[in-house]
């Protein structure tokens, strides 16, 4: 896990996010951990796209300010994925067993398109899922 996130200003980093319809809302406090893209078959199947853009935040700093997502046990007893039960937006991932970092879909964050801390540092299995992508840009 990366410890290289830069704290902006003197206070803790706080980011907000939510789903497409607004039912699920949350804030995360603390530095970004391991922003990456994952193109594993699970991520592709659940998202409906070739990959998902993940970023970790300290679990104690995660607060559900709207409804909490519905959790689906991707691997029962190991990991679960959270999504909005109304609009289906993918929001989060958590490991069963008290993980200190919770995975958030960067696209669920309100300012993911302008936040330099979220730029992926690892493109996990991207070529496997979308071999055409490198040529597409």
User: Which residue of 28, 37, 38, 80 would you call a contact of Zn ion, by CB under 5 A?
Assistant: 38
CB of 20 to Zn ion, least distance (A): 5
- Tell which residue, 3, 36, 24, 133, has the closest CA to residue 85: 24
Q: Any residues with CB less than 8 A from the CB of 36 and at least 6 apart, and which?
A: 53, 54, 55, 120, 121, 122, 123, 124
- Please report the sign of the dihedral spanned by the C-alpha atoms of residue 8, residue 10, residue 15, residue 16: negative
Name the segment binding Zn ion (CB under 5 A); options: 5-13, 58-66, 85-93, 126-134.
85-93
Name the segment binding Zn ion (CB under 5 A); options: 42-50, 63-71, 75-83, 106-114.
42-50
If one asks whether residue 125 binds Zn ion (CB under 5 A), the answer comes out as no
User: Which residue of 21, 96, 119, 127 would you call a contact of Zn ion, by CB under 5 A?
Assistant: 21
If one asks whether residue 23 binds Zn ion (CB under 5 A), the answer comes out as yes
């Amino acid at each position: 896990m990366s410890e290289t996130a830069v704290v902006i200003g003197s206070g803790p980093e706080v980011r907000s996010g939510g789903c497409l319809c607004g039912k699920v809302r949350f804030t995360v406090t603390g530095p970004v951990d391991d922003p990456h893209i994952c193109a594993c078959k699970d991520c592709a199947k659940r998202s409906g796209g070739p990959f998902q853009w993940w970023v970790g935040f300290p679990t104690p700093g995660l607060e559900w300010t709207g409804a909490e997502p519905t959790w689906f046990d991707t691997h029962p007893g190991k990991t679960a994925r959270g999504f909005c039960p109304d609009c289906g937006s993918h929001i989060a991932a958590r490991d069963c067993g008290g993980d200190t970092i919770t995975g958030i879909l960067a696209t669920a964050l309100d300012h993911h398109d302008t936040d330099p801390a979220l730029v992926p540092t690892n493109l996990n299995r991207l070529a496997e899922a979308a071999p055409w992508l490198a040529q597409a840009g």
